[in-house]
Every structure is written in structure tokens, then in C-alpha cells.
Structure 1
Amino acid sequence: MRYLALSTMASCAAMMIGTPGYGQTAAQGADAPAQGSDASPDGEVSTTGLADIVVTAQKRSQSAQKTPAAVTALSSEILVSRGLVDLAAINNVVPGARFNQEGNSMQLFLRGVGSNLDIANIEPVVNFNVNGVFIPREGTSAPLFDLESIEILPGPQGTLYGRGALGGAVNANFKRPTHELSTDAILEVGNYNLVHGTVTQNIPISDVLAVRLGGDYIYHEGYMKSGAYSKDDFAGRIGLLYEPNPDLKIYLWGQGVTKNGSPANAVNKGLDPVTGQYNESAFLNKDPWNDLRTPAQIAQAQSVPGLGGLFFQPRKDDQTYTFLSTGGQIDLRLGDGLTLSYIPSYLYLKSSERHWNGVLESQTDAKYRQVTQELRLSSDGPNLQWLAGIYAFQQRNSGFIILAPDVANLFVTNVLYNRIQGIAGFGQATYAIASGLRLTVGGRYSITGKKANGISPGDPNQTPYFFDRTFRHFDVKAGFEYDIAPRVMGYFTYQTGYQAGTYNEFPATSTQDNLVKPADLDSFTGGIKSRFLDNRLQVNVEGFYYKYTNLVLQSFDLSKVYNEIFNAKRVEIYGGQLDVTLRPTSNDMMSVSVSYAHARNKDFVTPDGSNFNGLQPPYAADWTIVGNLSHDFSLRNGYIRAAADARYESRWWADYLHNRGTEQKPSVIVNGSITYYSEGGRWDLGIWAKNLTNEAKIAAAAANGFPGPASGFLIEPRTFGGRLGLHF
């Protein structure tokens, strides 16, 4: 969005001249579909205690309360009961996160670290993985269904994840086949003619072979007046599990996704239609989701000298989207606690979508082919746990953004070929050096090569550009954990993250290189994880300090046809996260998560000499507060669960300049549900509502509005519906 906005302004200027939890896993216990005993981290059983959550954030299974990081884990039950069908919806329940959807792209930010450049030569800086496989930007908007869990891990994860994990990692894991015959079906209906169905079938072929099949379809009419912002998406999946003996496990999976809905349009923001004056919170229409213009407003836009021929009435546009991916994991137990794991994958993605930024249409195309492989050896001994591995990948992609397609075809980015390939060796070990005291060290050495070519945007001579560089880097991790008490653990960790360099879309010359330097992040975190009151109260707290160097952004200069990408030298981020979960009775659960991330520019000078020190980076709210409350009403043949959750977010800006119209004022989003669960869990029936206050909060914005000053994508309006679940 940022790239598109700035390039839009630059292109227009050129023509005039003459040519934006749940407390560290605790909420998972709140949404279990059945009541009963829960195991404590110590293996004890309590009929009213909090569940012990197992996470794989460190590429091995361990209790979340024994993981030295602020992991937020969302179980399958949470995702289904709250209707969290994609990352944009998950944004509402994760502290310190901002997941922005723009067309088929998702911009992931954790604690103020992320990237808002949706172009082919920029990789995300928050790593999104499915079954341990890195997924490129346009793949992150695929529907999420039949998942075992999603884990959100803030902070740099350079040693274990490497690529794209400078700001953190988001890990989604499919449910694997089991050796039991089972069928699960979910049907939802709601306003905007919503129809959403998910069906999964688990089939035990034999004692050693099982298959899991799944399909998901979602349809709803457009949330916008034009009919835009609709869904007509299908996803299919197959998984195979082969366990010929206790020492060998082979898991293979494949997934396909198509989208046939209409992408959201961006609406004008920041201008009062009555007074004609600047008003940060104003939209052109009383209904913010009304993306249409009056005849007078269209005439006003078309009267702009030299530009009127580009502006028209917004409409519902189409898209094509095909996403195919396959992969697996082979685990071979070698004895003496050793396990050899191999994780291969292949991915193909092709996306083409059009949407409107106010009265200006744009088209975004992207295409990917990717192969990844990871081979690692791990050991899980009583005093020493370690893993070491090799990771290799190759990605070939291309992409462009065009303004006013079919009218002027103004390219603002045009990457014809972009190849990224790399290899890395990594390792991490945790050793118990004394009773209750453990030391962790890790490292990763990576070599990344980038080779690309394209046509310089805005150049009337269509000058080609080329790029061919290799980047080498070593990430480190060091920390310790100490068991202060049986259910209280303290930890401190230093670790780094890295984003390989990239290029500007113009030819390198003797006086101006097209290199954009690599970005680095150094992180210091410390925290305490604890449980009290017979395992009913969980209190986790973490403090952090990040030094972020060479942040990759795009300049803003109306005198240039092409706005170059540059490095902001230093951004400082510090803060803390407090997560409290209380289960006072077996029928009640409440949790609150408070995240504070003070992100400010410290050495931030643009190529033209402008100084933005002291300002917040894009989409970096200081405060987010997430709360959840649920109560179970026991019945003779089941129970009813009433639940509500809310998210508060302080103000943020969508660009580093803090342009007018790109500010999101402090906001609160409230959701609720009431669900009946039958005895034995065979079926459930419920109603739900999201964004109860119908708040028109921007998901992302940029300074490209006509008449101005900005335009923004909005979150979904108030939606409500019913859900039926069947489980056999």
C-alpha cells in the first residue's frame, strides 16, 4: 500500500510536469469444547485448573509455560468457536500484533516490526509458516481451516527460522491424520448472505496408514456499496500419515486454494464532505463502507488538470487466485533420543487482482514458484536438548503494479524476474548446568543470493535494470532459564534477526548504486512465567528491548517519478507484555493481555535529507489490550457457553511521515458468541457476532486519496450468524 500510494503521487506529479492473548496460550483452555480435568505443567491433574498447552515454537514439543518466550497459541477450538477463518481475523485476539489485509496480501507486524511494501523485491520481515514451510506474502491470505493450532512468536527468530523472521514468526499447523474413523462438519450462515462450510474426514486405511481429507468453502456478498469486499473461496486438502514401526513416521500433505470473490476497495479518508475541510476521522459517506461517489464528486475528481481521465466511479472488480502447495515431514528415530527429520515442500502461486483507491483503479499481479528443504537432527535428553540442521530454498517470482489499467497502464513497479536462493546451517542447544538452571545457545549462518531484472517504473525509455548480489550473515542466540519455584520460571534471552538486502528498480551506475542494505534487529528479552492458586491463576510477564537498524522503507518525493527504497538507520523499540488468565471455577474463564511497545525513530533521515526522528514507524501502536470472558451454564445433556472478547488499540499511523488521513484513532473491537455443546461433544449449535459496535476501523491506509488526503482499506463491518458443528 505504501509503495502504491507514494508511486501514485509521484506518477501524478510527473504527469503534471509534462508527462497499518490471549495471554501467552492461556486462553486455549477457555474454548475447549468439552469440560473435564486438565493437566498442570507438573503433570498433576486438577478439575478446575488451567490446561497445559504444548507448543513447537522452538521446533520441538514443550510446555508453553516452559518456553522462554511470549508465545500466543490458539487452538483449533478457539479458531472455530470464534470464527477466525484467516489471519486478518486472528489480528483481533493477538497482543501486540497488526495483520493488515490488502487484496491478496497480508502485512504482518509484531511489536511494531513489519513491512508495508507489497512488491516483488521485498520479502516480509515476519515469518509465516505452514507445517514448517515458509509461505510468501500472497499466500498468507489463504483460508485457515482444520488446524491443530496457530502459534505467534514475537521478536527476532534468526537462529531457528532465519528467512523472514526478523520481527517474529507465525506458525500454522494442519491437523494430522489419526488411526480413528471420524467426521467433522461445520456449517455457518449469516448476514451478507454468508454461507461457510467445512468438512473433514479421517480414514484409517490400516494399522499403519491413515488419510485425512478436508474441504472449506466460504461465500458472502460484498461489504461495500459497489459489491466489492466479497468472498467466493474454496480450499481443499489431503494428508497422509504412514507409521510402519515406532521409529519411522511419514507425514505428507497437499493443499489447493482458489478465490473468486471481489477484493476490497479503499475509501477516501480525512476530508469532511460537508465543510470540505480536513477531518482525520471523516469519510466521504455516512456509511464508511460506501465506496461509491456522487455525480458531483466524480465530476470534481475528473476536473483535475491532466489527471481527470484516470478517475472513474469505483466498482466491484474481479480477481484470479490459484495457490497450490505440498510438503511433508519424515521423522526417523535413531535411538538414544536422536531423531532425524526431513521437511521438503513445493509451492506455486498466481494472483491477479484489481481494486480501487478511491476513484483510481489499480492492478496487482504476482507469481511464485518455490522449493524448500530442511534436514535436522535433534536430541531430547534429560539434561541436554539440542538440534542442528541445514536449510535450503529457491524462490522464483515476478510481479507488477499498474495504475489506471486499460486507460494509462502506469507501472509503479515492474519486476520481471526475481530469484532468491539460499542455504543455511543452524543449531541450538539447551543444557541443565545446575538444578533448575538451564543455558541456551544457538547460531545460524546463512548465504542468500538475489538475482533480478525488470523495467524501471516511470521511465519513458523503459530502461531495463539488473541486480545480482550475495549476502552472508551469522545470527546468534544466548539465554538462560531458571525455575524459581515448581510453577514459576524466569528467563533472559539475547537473539538477533536479519533481512537480506534487496534493490531499487533502476540501473546501478558509478554514482548511484541500486542496492538496499540488509536490515538487522538485536533483541534483549526477559520474563517470568508463573501459575498460582492450585493452577487456577496464570501470570506471565515479559520485557523487551529491540535495536532495529537499516529498516527498509520507501521515500516520499513528489519531484521524482520513482520513489526509491532506502534504509532508515535506527529504530528503537522497548516495552513489555503482561498476560493474566484466571479460571476461578470449572465453568468460568477470564483473561487479559496488555502489550506496550514504544517504537520510535532514533536515526531516521531520508535520501532527500528529511529528518523523522521521534516519530512512530508504520502500524506501531503503543498499546494493545486484549480481553476474554466466558461462562458455562451446565445442563442435564450438555452445557451452554457464553463468551465475549474485546481488543483495544491506541493510535497508529500507516506511514512513517504521519501523513494526514493515515492516522487510526484509538479503537475498540468487541465480539461475542453463545454456543450449546451436547453431552459427549457430538454436536454444537451457536450464534456469534463480530465488530458489535460496527466500528469503521482502517486496516491499512496511504496518502493517495482523491480529493484527499488519504484512502484506506477498512476492517469488516458488523457481522453475525449461526453455526452448527457435527462430530462423529
Structure 2
Amino acid sequence: MVTRSAIIFSASLLAMTAHGTAFAQETGAKSEADTDQGGLGEIIVTAEKRAENVQRTAAAVTAVTGESLVEKGVVDLRAVQSLVPSARFQQEGQSTQVFLRGVGANLDFANVEQVVSLNFNGVYIPREGTSAPLFDIERVEVLPGPQGTLYGRNAMGGTVNASFVKPKREAGFSGVLEAGNFDLFHGTAIANAPLGEHLAARIGVDYTHTSGYMTSGAEAKDDLAIRLGLLYDSNAGFDMYLWGYFVDKSGTAPNLVNKGTNPTTFAYDENAFLRPNPWDDTRTGALSALAPFGQPKAEDLTYKNYVAGSEINVDLSDNVTLTYIPSYFKLDLDYGYWLGGVPAYYEIGYKQTTHELRLSGDSDAVKWIAGAYYYWMSVEQDVRVLPGTPFEGIYFNNNKGIKTGIAAFGQVTYNISPSFRAILGGRYSSDKAEAAGISFMLQPYTFDRTFNRFDIKAGVEADIGPASMAYATFQTGYAPGTYNPFPATPGNDNLVKPAKLTSYTVGVKNRFLDDRLQLNLEAYYYDYRDLYIQAFDQSKLFNPIFNAAKVEIYGVQADLKLKPTRADTLSFSVSYNHARNKDFITPAGDNYNGLSPAYAADWTVSAEYSRDFDIGSHGYLRAQADARFESAFYADFIHNLGTRQQPYVKANASLTYFANNERWNLGAWIKNITNEPVIAATAFAGIPGPGTAYLEAPRTYGVRLGFNF
């Protein structure tokens, strides 16, 4: 068995001998190094709120370029999962549950916020907004571990940052057209125009149509997104980037299917689905007796999301910059769906404003950043089971939910010597939560609490070779307390205590063989206190949130990336993540010590290979294949029957012709080649049960045309 001490000792030894590296996966970078020297090139990231080479960032950043996202057919956040080690980016209705290294939040109820934050252009996006399409993207960055210093309350488990392509000072028109199975039509069109010496505008439109993955027609897409951008750059120390987008989804909502019952014997069978086709959510024929409330069907979906933001930068001197990032977010969502044979209804509305103001500076001895942050969020939610029947019940109701917060933060990197640096940071946060609604007992409840917290970061970096860096970091993060939706009494408070995470990481980053080989390693240990955790049992109207007193997580992430020739690229990563409850006994005396938290697989292994073939003077052909293995995991902390995902492998491939003038490309792709059914958000109970699960997409394939003029 891999032990924590062995992991950290091994990482420390590798750091001292310059043979390891922290995991920083670079995908799809195109640079002069690629063209002239055949090397791996570099990716510039802003994970720590300043632009720097990902290989010089003292953190396990996974960075993926927009070109690579298009080539791999990644059109939303969920599909990024295949590119990130030890991660689950999975569907729950129109939400995306994000788990990094076993840290995340399940269930899409308003009293459980994300603990891995998604940010668009530096703006926090609430959970139901995470299903917005990804298009015209500069890059996506994934940063695991608590980021309490720079990102605050929703980044206890890490951050996912997506940056849009900014307007450019040149006219251009580009896009993508795709067609595939399930009646797929997907089109993206981007127009860019200079509007003078200092001003440029950019507009993008993205549309997706599919028939439903589910046999009933559920999970069909009819999604439209429009994005606008305006960039003013004075070339004299002042620039302003304004952006906004609108998303309108009017397809059908996904349904959950039953898992864990043999359809022939009706005996428990953990890996069985009710139909030979796992995505068949109907109950016709011999299964009609399992449809007491009618046949599951495709329910209409209404989703409208409006977002606007900006980034303003002012150079106050040669090495001091003032940055201001305001934003506005509004979302209205409602749909019906089926939990196996049980109908349900989901409705939620958000309004949010955020403001971040920061100063940053850079000198020969010191890099620093200091800032203030404010947010206000309003959320109303109603989730019901068996709507419109005599058995209608409330799963969750919140007719008033207000969250506000302020924070002050700062971080300093000091050069102790030309090759050795120290990092120190801190953030003070004050978060207030107010709520009112109707409990499952049809009684009114209220909640009003304020939570104060100071998070810290301390670390060191050392250059240990011409292209090698070692680091060690200590940092903390927290999630504000929340509530259970029932009336508080003197003997039964509805408070759920804040969750806290303390992490220790060591790692190294290396480039060898004239920039052709990257070898990276990071080891980590997380002390996770008062994790708030909830399991969903659809046979119960009330599913309480508990605080798990202590969860211990430790592991390693390793990455190898090799470009032996200009035509070949090989990537391989392996992640071991040991997450277990150390002290988790519920008030009723149920003991879950020794069990893994939800969606925390021990092993994740992925590999990718691509090769370019010259086929004349006009272009080249790129063949690409990748595969990802994930060991078994459970979808809830109880390890209920029907909630276990068996180990699986998913593989994808593509073949694309690129014109040398970069004006167009044409390719074919296939995803989930073996049609592997993999669970996403999963609940206990059902008809017949024992579990009901959202499923990741089945095998899909298609052709793609890209153009750039």
C-alpha cells in the first residue's frame, strides 16, 4: 500500500535530484518552438492572477489551449474532465459538479455551493451557469488544492479558469461546422473587426442541435449562445476589455436511469441497468409495471443566462498596475425530469454582482499583489417530487437566499537570491448567508449567519537547473457554513459548520532534451475538517447535510510529455489519490470512518499520442488518440447500493487534415469508442432502485470543418 510518508519522501528526493516535476499538462500549444525547433513550446497562464509560464508556476496547473479544445471536440466544461488528472467534471441536470482530488460538492441545492470555483475571465460563475458552452476560448486552466488566498470561499478544492479570446486589431472571420450522430449539428462563427487605432470588437455565435441521448428523447439540445467583446488599448498604460454573453437553451432535460437491478431476475446486480442500452430510460413491455406514475418522457427545458463583465487595467507607474473587474450574472432555469420512474421538477433563479479591485507590482526583488473583493448573490429555488399528483412533496424550497461577502487579500513573492524565492499570502473574508423557505414538513424556516475567516499561503521556490524548479507550499481554504432547510430549535440547530482544508504540497517542474521532454511530479497531503456532505435518497423528502469531522487525502500526480520529433507528441499522466474519512460519525451514531468520499477514485491514468503526416506541399494530416482509465468510485458517502462505478476506460480518436496556410481544416472524430456507460450524479432508491444515475454521453462521432479568414 502506498503510504503518505513514502509519497512525500519520494517527492522530496525527486525535488532534490531534479528528476521530478509538479503536474502541469500543456496541450495544443503552438509557438515558435514548435515550428523552428520542434520543442514543446510554452503556455502562459494567469492561475495566480499574473501572467507567467505554466512551467514557472509553483502549482499543479493543467493548461489547455483553445485550439486543442476545438480539435478534441470539447464544447463544454464537462468534456474538460478527460484532460485533467484526478478530476470529475460531471452532469447534474444543468449543473456541473466539479471534484478535484476528491474535493467537491454534490447535489444542486441552493444551500450547497461549489467548493471548486469556475471563473470566466476572472469572474465567478454560479453552479447552474457552468453548463454554458465553451467556444472561442483562449485557454482553460485547472488549479487543484485550496486557493483561499487569491480566490476565496468557493475555491477550497481548487479553481477552473476559462479565458475568452479577446478582440484583436485585425479583421477576421473564423468558425467551426460539425455534424454527427444523434442528429448533431454544431456551428460556431466568430467575427473580429478593428474599429480604429485603439479599439477592436469581436462577436461570436454558437449553436448546437442534437436529438436526445436518451431513448425517450431526453437530453436533446437546442442551444444558442451569443458573445460580444470590445477592447480598448491606449498603448499608453490604459486598457479596458468589455464582454458579455447570452445563453438560451430550449431542448429537453436529461433523465436519470435505474442502476443496480437485474432486469430479468430483479435481483440486486451492482453494474446492471434496466435495459441492454443503458441510455434507454423507457419502461415499456415487461417493465411497464415499473412505471406507476406513467412513462418517463422528455421534459421541456427553459434556460436563459445573461452575463456581463469587464477588466480595466491602469499602469500607475512603470511597475505598478491597478486592475478592476466588475460583473453581473442572471440566470433563470426550470425543467421537469425523471428519477427513473419518478417525475420531479426543478426551478432556480440567480442574480449576482461581483467587484474585484487589485494592485500588482513587479521589481527585481519582489512580485506582489493586493486587493479587495465584494459579492452579492440572490438565489431562489424550488425542487419537487411527483409534481401535480396527490403525493407531491418538497425536496428543497428557498424563496429567499441572499449571500454577501467582502474580502481583502495579498500575496508577495520575494527573491531571497537569484535562484531562491519565498511566497507569503493571506486573505480575510467575511461571508453572510440569509435564507427563508418552506421545509419538507411544510413549516417555514429561516437562517441568518455571518462567517469570518483568515486563510494563508506560505511557500518556497528554488531553481535547481537550467529548466528545473522545485517548490513546497502550505495553504488553506474554507467554505462558509450553510444550513439544513428546517426550522431551528434550541435542541436542533439548522447550522452546518464551515468546512476547512489545509494542504501541504511539494513538487518539481523540469524540461529536458532541448525542450522536448517534460517530466513533472507533485505530492500532496490534505487535512479536510468539517467537510459538509450530503447523500440523496429519493425515497426520503429530507436528506440532511452533515459535517464530517476529518477527511484525509494524500496522493501524487505525475506527468510525462515527450515530443521526439516535430511530428510526434506523446503525453502520459498518472494520479494516485487516497481520500478516506478519518472521523465521521453522524449525530445518529452512523459510522462512516474508512470510506472514501463521493466521486474520489484512487487511480486515474491517461495517455495521448498524436502524429502529423506531410501529404504534399499544401497540408498535413494529424492522427490523434487518447484514453483515460479511472478506478472504481462511489457516488455518495454512504456507499449505497447502486452508486458504485466500476473501473472503466474511455478512448477517443480523431483524424484531421490541416491546410498549411491555416485557412481551413477538415476532420473526423469519435468519442467514447467502446460506448462505456459511466455514471455522473447518482442518487439512492428509485423504482425499482437501488440507484438512479445521470449517465455520461454514449458513443458519438462526426465530422468537423474549421475555417479562418
Q: Shorter-chain TM-score category?
A: over 0.9
Letter in structure 1 aligned against 2:207: Y
Checking the alignment, whether the CA contact within 8 Å between 2:138 and 2:164 is kept in structure 1 is yes
Q: Which residue of 2 aligns with 1:220?
A: 210
Matched, 1:84 2:86: no
Q: Which residue of 2 is the match for residue 345 of structure 1? A: 327
Aligned to 1:402: 384
Kindly indicate whether residue 416 of structure 2 is the aligned counterpart of residue 416 of structure 1.
no
Amino acid at match of 1:492: A
The Cα shift of 1:335 comes to: 1.1
Name the CA distance, whole Å, in 2 between partners of 1:272 and 1:598: 32
Is the contact between residue 587 and residue 633 of structure 1 (CA under 8 Å) also seen in structure 2? yes
CA deviations 1:195-222 (Å, max 9, x no partner) are: 0000001100001010000000000101
Alignment partners' CA distance in 2, 1:561 and 1:640: 56
Q: Which whole-Å CA distance do the structure 2 matches of 1:347 and 1:562 have between them?
A: 30
| Counterpart in the other structure of 2:241 | 251
Residue 639 of structure 2: aligned partner: 658
Change (3 A) 1:560 1:286: closer
Contact 1:489–1:530 (CA under 8 A) maintained in structure 2: yes
Indicate the residue corresponding to 1:618 in structure 2: 598
Structure 2 residue identity aligned to 1:576: V
2:351 is the counterpart of 1:369 = yes
2:484 corresponds to: 504
The reply to whether residue 288 of structure 1 matches residue 268 of structure 2 is no
Deviations 1:59-113 (A, max 9, x none): 0000111000110011011110011001111111111110111111111100000
SS in 2 for 1:113: coil
Counterpart of 2:185 in structure 1 is: 195
Secondary structure class of the residue paired with 1:77 = helix
Counterpart for residue 711 of structure 1 = 692
Return the match for 2:437 from 454, 464, 484.
Answer: 454
> Secondary structure of 2:288's match?
helix
- Taking the TM superposition and a 5 Å limit, the aligned residue runs for 1:234-383 are 234-300=224-290, 302=292, 311-383=293-365
Q: Which residue of 1 aligns with 2:510?
A: 530
Contact residue 22 and residue 93 of structure 1 kept, 8 A: no
Match of 1:28 in 2: 28
* 1:514 counterpart residue number: 494
Determine whether 1:102 maps to 2:118: no
| 2:283–2:290 CA contact under 8 A, matched in 1 | no
Counterpart Cα distance in 1 of 2:537 and 2:172: 59
Aligned residues of 1:27 and 1:581 also touching (Cα < 8 A): no
Q: Distance in 2 between matches of 1:126 and 1:582?
A: 30
The separation in 2 between residues aligned to 1:611 and 1:142, in whole angstroms, is: 39
Retained in 2: the 8 A contact 1:555–1:566? Answer: no
Separation in 1, partners of 2:443, 2:689:
32
Unaligned runs of 5+ in 1: 1-20, 40-44, 303-310
Deviation track 1:298-357 (CA, whole Å, cap 9, x = no partner) reads 32453xxxxxxxx32100111100000000000001113000000000010011121111
Q: Structure 2 counterpart of 1:351, which letter?
A: L
State how far apart, in whole Å, the 1-side matches of 2:526 and 2:497 are. Answer: 19
Equivalent position SS for 1:164: helix
Note the alpha carbon deviations across 1:29-83, whole angstroms, 9 max, x for none.
3xx4xxx7318xxxxx951111111110000000111000110011011110011
Offset from partner CA, 1:562-617 (integer Å, 9 cap, x none):
33212010100000000110000000000011111100000011121110100110
Preserved contact between residue 26 and residue 538 of structure 1 (Cα < 8 Å): no
- Per the TM alignment, residue 697 of structure 1 is displaced from its structure 2 partner at its CA by 1.3
Q: Distance in 1 between the 2:449 and 2:434 partners?
A: 7
Aligned-partner residue type, residue 315 of structure 1: K
| Partners of 1:209 and 1:556 in 2: CA distance | 51
Distance 1:188 1:519 in 2: 44
Return the alpha-carbon distance in structure 1 between the equivalents of residues 538 and 332 of structure 2: 32
Cα pair 2:39 2:514 within 8 Å, conserved: yes
1:601-637 Cα shifts (integer Å, max 9, x gaps): 0001112111010011000000111111000001321
Q: Distance in 1 between matches of 2:370 and 2:518?
A: 33
Q: Please give the alpha-carbon distance, in whole angstroms, between the structure 2 residues aligned to 1:637 and 1:60.
A: 39
Deviation at residue 700 of structure 1 after TM alignment? 2.3
State whether structure 2 residue 672 is matched by structure 1 residue 691: yes
Q: Deviations over 1:416-451 (max 9, x none)?
A: 110000000000010110120000000000001111
Query: In the alignment, which of 466, 471, 475 is matched to residue 486 of structure 1?
Result: 466
Aligned with 1:134 (options 124, 137, 148): 124
Find the aligned partners of 1:456 and 1:534 in 2 and give their Cα distance: 63
Q: Is the 8 A contact 2:667 2:703 kept in 1?
A: yes
Q: 2:461 and 2:533 mapped to 1: Cα distance?
A: 36
SS of equivalent residue, structure 2 residue 409: strand
> Counterpart of 2:234 in 1: which secondary structure?
strand
Question: In structure 2, what is the equivalent of residue 166 of structure 1?
Answer: 156
Write the letter of the residue equivalent to 1:616. Answer: S
Partner of 2:287: helix, strand, or coil?
A: helix
How many residues end up aligned between the 2 structures? 687
Q: Is the 8 A contact 2:169 2:200 kept in 1?
A: yes
**607, 622, 632: which one aligns with 2:587:** 607
1:28, distance to aligned residue in structure 2 (A): 2.9
| Distance in structure 2 (CA, Å) of the matches to 1:497 and 1:674 | 43
Which of 425, 446, 450 is residue 442 of structure 1 equivalent to? 425
Q: Tell whether the 8 Å contact from 1:403 to 1:412 is kept in structure 2 after alignment.
A: yes
Structure 2 residue 17 is the aligned partner of structure 1 residue 37: no
The answer to whether the Cα contact below 8 Å between 1:76 and 1:148 also exists between their aligned partners in 2 is yes
Secondary structure of 1:466's aligned partner: strand
Shift >3 Å, 4+ stretches: 555-561
In the alignment, the residues of structure 2 paired with residue 193 and residue 380 of structure 1 have an alpha-carbon distance, to the nearest angstrom, of 53
Spell out the pairing of 1:535-614 with structure 2 (5 A cutoff). Answer: 535-554=515-534, 562-614=542-594
Counterpart check, 1:627 vs 2:612 = no
Would the alpha carbon gap of residues 560 and 362 (structure 1) be closer, same or farther in structure 2, given more than 3 Å must change?
Answer: closer
Counterpart amino acid of residue 471 in structure 2: Y
Cα offset, 1:405, TM superposition: 1.3
Range with bigger deviation, 136-145 or 377-386: 377-386
Letter in 2 for 1:91: Q
User: Post-superposition shift, 1:559?
Assistant: 11
Using the alignment, how far apart are the partners of 1:192 and 1:576 within structure 2?
39
What letter is aligned with 1:624?
Answer: T
Contact 1:269 1:705 in 2 (8 A): no
Q: Say whether the 8 Å CA contact 1:22–1:72 is kept in structure 2.
A: no
The letter for the 2-side match of 1:691 is: N
Instruction: Name the aligned partner's letter for residue 449 of structure 1.
Output: K
Contact 2:424 2:458 in 1 (8 A): yes
Q: In 2, Cα distance between the equivalents of 1:562 and 1:725?
A: 50
Q: 1:46 to 1:540 in 2, by over 3 A?
A: farther
Q: How many angstroms apart in 2 are the aligned matches of 1:97 and 1:561?
A: 30
**Deviation of the 1:276 alpha carbon:** 1.8
Q: Is the 8 A contact 2:62 2:84 kept in 1?
A: yes
User: 1:284-307: per-residue Cα shift (whole Å, max 9, x none)?
Assistant: 1111111111244232453xxxxx
Cα distance between partner residues in 2 of 1:679 and 1:97: 36
In 1: Cα distance, 2:689 partner to 2:418 partner: 64
Q: CA deviation at 1:555?
A: 6.2
